[in-house]
A and B are shown apart, each in its own frame.
Chain A
Amino acid sequence: MIEAKGLTKRYGATVAVDNLSFEVKPGKVTGFLGPNGAGKSTTMRMILGLDTPTAGDVRIDGQRYRDLRQPLTKIGALLDAKWVHPNRSARAHLAWMAASNKLPKDSVDKALEMVGLTSVANKRAGAYSLGMSQRLGIAGALLGDPEILLFDEPVNGLDPEGIVWIRTFMHRLAGEGRTVLVSSHLLSEMALTAEELIVIGRGKLIAQSSTNEFVDRASGTTVKVRSPQLDQLQGILQQQSLVTRIEDVEDQGKVLFVEGEVTTDKIGETAAAEGIVLHELTLQRGSLEAAFMQMTGDSVDYHAHDEIAAVTDVAAVPPVSGVEVAAGPKEDN
């Protein structure tokens, strides 16, 4: 469990992180979401004791990071895959890390095996592709078999294969009962990876909830109905004071969308009672993008506004590279 209370970081006049309080719940993948420059990396550096907060503090199972004795056995992290000496082999890199926390001798081989780098372990890390560097970074995070894992933008710059690998790996880690905090500015990536969300913008907490709740709360739900008796159904639903609209959807003909406090159960029962034939009855969630836009409001300046579809089908797989939301000054890494 990671617990931040009133976490604040100022660089001169700039406030990078502003009175941020949140909890990372154990045994789940928590997404740490925010546009570039929102203060995600700074927060992660403070969690790891690399940067000292201007005010407030953050504790790992009640302890400050700097007071941990063998931190790698408690919390593993990958903040930047390029933090390796290019002329040092992956094995040597992991070997010194293992020695620093008195980890057993076989931990290096195990970690290499887990990320599939065994065959290139003796090559210099500078010759690695970004995907391989990322794997090496994850091996470093897993070295001490920690219960908590921190990843900062792990899919950034990776090819699709690498992204799928990281995503699968994270689910596996959470499946093993570990706590995972993963930051991203890619909303769709978070929708696939995270159960819980901590959303920040300009260093401030915007929301902390489950991913589903976040989307529901921000953009509500819509039920999609296809039926040969659409007009009749619309009339009945309108009498129940539900907001409805009929649209022409390509390849599907006329489709009825029902919005507001509505469930598929209720519409299905209404239709059955009236003897109306249904061809489709689907619950649609607002996309994470739409929710994000709505929640963050004026705390972000975004430029991708027009391209964002307000509603996407919940059953459809979001695109791999989601909408990027840019805001504020670029984070200095």
Chain B
Amino acid sequence: MSLITVERIKLFSTRSPWWCMIVAAVLSIGLAALATGFASGPDELRVTPAMTQFGVGLGQMVIMVMAALAVTTEYRFGTIRTSFQAVPQRAALLLNKTIVVATLAAVVGLVASWGSWAIGSLLASGADMKIDTAAEWRLMFGQGLVYGFAAIFAVAVGILIRQSAGAIAILILWPLLVESLLPLIPKIGDDLQKWTPFTNANQFLNGGQDMGLAGADAAGASTALSPWWAMAYFAAWSIGILVIALITASKRDA
């Protein structure tokens, strides 16, 4: 428990995590307002709860940046050495950091998803915004899960790369570009994409959602797995990379 306290003090005693969390929530909710607020007349009736969630994915990027920075700033300022000196059981320390960051990310994810839905229901009051299908419940609560595991993924990349710019570049380019450009590879590209982590996270959230006005394409690429298996697959990626990161950090010189 004391290591949770350590990481909680570290995270909340600087300002940047607060800003990242606020930006993530504001970005999500703001985009939901834009996506629903401009729909009027017959369009307004075609707004669905899933349509309020596009911005939440953007907020997820910000949270991943926060999660990576929670590690890379320690390397940047040398506090990682003070940390390892205070707690030579490095894996335990970093695991507790991951837990704190991931829990916080999950909370922000839920604030973002429900906040976005709330503003959407307010602005598109004519539409049926009730959360009443299993897919919609999965989407709303699933954002917390995806934020949490995305944060684990980001912490692990931060531990491996140890450097803010590099880690952030990977975390942004990977989901946004690498995974979506894979289908350009002839023959195998589509199959490769089906087994990438963030495409599966998207499958978990958006698979089988009613995208209404935005059209079915808005759900993004789908994968071979059912939503919950896709989530498990994404989680396995995050935990796998984290394990590699913890082993690496325990072995190498600080």
Interface residues of A (CB under 8 A from B): 45, 48-52, 65-68, 71-72, 77, 79-80, 82-89, 92-93, 95-97, 99-102, 140
Contact = CB atoms under 8 A, between A and B. Distances in A.
Given A50-B254, A86-B77, A66 B82 contact: no
Nearest 7 A/B pairs, CB to CB: A83-B78, A92-B13, A96-B9, A51-B253, A100-B86, A50-B254, A66-B88
A45 B253 contact: yes
Interface of B: 2-3, 5-7, 9-10, 13-16, 73-74, 77-79, 81-89, 93, 251, 253-254
Residue of B7, B73, B79 ringed by the most chain A CB atoms within 10 A: B79
Given A96-B9, A100-B3, A85 B86 contact: no
Nearest to B86: A100
A49 B93 CA distance: 15
B84 to A, nearest CB: 6
A77 B81 CA distance: 11
A82 B82 CA distance: 11
Given A87-B14, A99-B6, A71 B88 contact: yes
B81 A85 contact: no
A77 B85 contact: yes
B70 to A, nearest CB: 11
A154 to B, nearest CB: 16
B15 to A, nearest CB: 6
Contacts of B79: 83-85
Contacts of A48: 85
Given A50-B81, A89-B13, 16 more contacts: A45-B81, A48-B85, A50-B84, A50-B253, A52-B251, A80-B78, A83-B77, A83-B81, A84-B82, A87-B15, A88-B10, A93-B13, A97-B86, A99-B2, A99-B9, A102-B2
A95 B11 CA distance: 12
Given A84-B79, A85-B77, A86-B77, A96 B85 contact: no
Nearest to B4: A99
A96 B3 CA distance: 9
